[in-house]
Amino acid sequence: KAGVTQTPRYLIKTRGQQVTLSCSPISGHRSVSWYQQTPGQGLQFLFEYFSETQRNKGNFPGRFSGRQFSNSRSEMNVSTLELGDSALYLCASSLDGRTFYGYTFGSGTRLTVV
Amino acid sequence: AQTVTQSQPEMSVQEAETVTLSCTYDTSESDYYLFWYKQPPSRQMILVIRQEAYKQQNATENRFSVNFQKAAKSFSLKISDSQLGDAAMYFCAYRSSDTGTASKLTFGTGTRLQVTL
């Protein structure tokens, strides 16, 4: 069974640009969550998508957005990149986001903003 | 809002020895879930062990076990017979059972575990 796949693994962007990150969940999983990991702020919840709908959202500015497709694959987009957006972005999938069994994470996308 | 605190930024253990990582949390909820995740240099967060708050019995997964003290809001992880492959960042995480926020994990700041020969 394939795991959670995140692409690309590494990305370098310039301030002011926008970026799109992709996450393919485990087959059959319908919930996809996104987290930002930085040395200063640690791991912070961005948002969760379930059945193509955003179900839960963290405290991030509107520059951070996402979507989910009918095959449960998810993308997150960051517009007008700032230096502080440099981080590891982790995606996690679960069957429905509500069961006890936790989440399976991908290996993340390392975004560097210069 | 819930918070998770890991007061040990770094820990070190000798191979084959036992180490305990601490985690405390703050919540007003009575039903919730707790997790320990491991993040090796490969960056992928790997679930180590999970605990349901309404279960008094401490969870165990092979060499990993927890000491869950609900009243004290404490959830420590014990690693027995430590192996070199256990070296990683360990994160404690909380998840509400409230259906409105159930999908969100709140993480602690992590404990870096070194395993020495």
Concatenated DSSP letters for A68-97? E-TTS-EEEEE-S--GGG-EEEEEEEESSS
Predicted pLDDT of residue A1? 63
Does B12 have pLDDT greater than 80?
A: yes
Two structure tokens written together for A12: 């370098």
Q: How many CA atoms lie within 13 A of B45 on its CB side?
A: 30
Put simply, whether A107 touches B (Cβ < 8 Å) is yes
CB–CB of A43 and B52 under 8 A? no
Residue located via tokens 């957006």: A85
Query: What is the C-alpha to C-alpha distance for residues A60 and A47, in angstroms, rounded to an integer?
Result: 9
Put simply, whether B13 touches A (Cβ < 8 Å) is no
Predicted pLDDT of residue B82? 97
Predicted pLDDT of residue B56? 83
The rounded percent of chain B whose pLDDT value lies above 70 is 97
Residue located via tokens 């040990």: B8
CB–CB of B105 and A56 under 8 A? no
Give the pLDDT mean for B14-19. Answer: 98
Taking 70 as the pLDDT cut, the residues of chain A under it are 1, 99-100
Q: B1 CA to chain A: closest CA distance, Å?
A: 12
Predicted pLDDT of residue A45? 95
Put simply, whether B84 touches A (Cβ < 8 Å) is no
Note the pLDDT tens digit of each residue in B44-79: 999 999 999 988 889 999 999 999 999 999 999 999
Report CA torsion sign: B107, A63, A70, A50. Answer: positive
Put simply, whether B30 touches A (Cβ < 8 Å) is no
